[in-house]
Amino acid sequence: MSKKLTITAIKKRKGEKPLVMITAYDALFAKLLEPSADMILVGDSLNMSFAGRSDTISATLEQMIYHTNAVCKGAPESFVICDMPFGTYTCKEDALRNAIKVFQKTPADCVKIEGGKDKAGIIKHLTDNGIAVCGHIGLLPQSVRSEGGYKVKGKTADEREQLLKDAKAVEEAGAFCMVIEGTKAEVAKEVAQSVTIPVIGIGAGAEVDGQVLVFSDMLGFFEEFTPKFVKKYLDGATLVKKALQEYADEVQNRQFPTEEHIY
């Protein structure tokens, strides 16, 4: 899937072919996944899967910019989304100033903001000023401390109502697509049907307009947790550890290097 998708092309995929979104944090993996992904997300999940922290809260704008540039280098033909980290979009003015920084310092195609109706004013301010926005509703990882954990949404009638309102507000604010995370599949399906922009799910069932996964989860490199929504397409950790041990053994047995690796 080379040749970068446009926002118009992404919107047209609604009701057509599901969109494939995968995270990447560096040029090396971005290049590997470019042929398979419609959109690459430089997620603030990098604070966990790259930096080893226990949540996403401490990711900084400078780190997001650094990783976004690395990803764009590795996947120059991909549509790239940069997550706005915690604390960088608490008001319209901060949000715009920080999103402009992302746009001026990286070739990212859009930013992503967590929140629904409560963030609609901020999303509108960004889209009014030439910053494309991907929304993010449902389970919001940046609210993990205030919520006391990661809580699946859409379990009650009130939550269902709230999600439908959030999706509508995000759409009306001008977002061109949105992620829906950690939501009961029936409700995510309703949400996707209630708006005209693509709704991309993670832990939100199959009846949405696309899927996103963290690359290190789906490839089996991230062993800190294995939530129910992750499917492991590769047992990366086992493969890597086996290869590394083989190298270690060969060094200790003087089996490496041999003639072909010696000057």
Ligand X SMILES: CC(C)C(=O)C(=O)O
Residue-level length of the chain: 263
Residue 225 CA to its chain's centroid (Å): 17
Binding residues for 3-methyl-2-oxobutanoate: 44-45, 83, 112
Handedness of CA 237, 71, 75, 96 (dihedral sign): positive
Which of ligand X, Mg ion, ligand MHF, none does 236 bind, CB closer than 5 to 8 A by kind? none
Tell me, residue by residue from 58 to 77, as one string, x for binding to ligand X by CB under 6 A and - for no binding.
--------------------
Report which DSSP code applies to 72.
Answer: H
Angle among Cα 167, 10, 35 to the nearest 5 degrees reads 125
Nearest-approach distance from CB 175 to ligand MHF, in angstroms: 20
CB nearer to ligand MHF: pick between 159 and 207:
159
Question: Is 186 one of the annotated active-site residues of the chain?
Answer: no
Out of 181, 207, 223, 246, pick the active-site residue.
181
Q: Is 252 helix (H, G, I), strand (E, B) or coil?
A: helix
Residue 49 binding ligand MHF, by CB under 6 A: yes
Q: Which of 206, 252, 195 is nearest to 229 (CA)?
A: 206
The pairs formed by 15-18 with CB atoms below 8 angstroms and a separation of 24 or more are: 15/209, 18/208, 18/209, 18/210, 18/211
Binding test (CB under 6 A) with ligand X, winner from 65, 179, 187, 191:
179
Residue 199: exposure state from Cβ atoms within 10 A (0-12, 13-18, ≥19): buried
Q: Which one of ligand X, Mg ion, ligand MHF, none interacts with residue 48, CB within 5 to 8 A by kind?
A: ligand MHF
Distance CA(113)–CA(119), nearest Å, equals 8
Nearer to ligand X by Cβ, of 62 and 246: the residue is 62
Nearer Cβ to ligand MHF (85/174): 85
Interaction partner, residue 222 (Mg ion, ligand X, ligand MHF, none; CB < 5-8 Å by kind): ligand MHF
Residues 23 to 52: which contact Mg ion by CB under 5 A? 43-44
Distance CA 20, CA 214 (A): 12
- Identify which of residues 3 and 228 has a Cβ nearer to ligand MHF in the complex: 228
Q: Which of residues 164-193 bind ligand MHF (CB under 6 A)?
A: 182
Contact window for ligand X (CB under 6 A) among 43-51, 159-167, 222-230, 234-242: 43-51
Strand partners, 223: none
Residues found near ligand MHF in the complex (CB under 6 A): 45, 48-49, 56, 141, 150-152, 182, 214, 216-217, 222, 225, 227-228
Active-site amino acid positions: 181
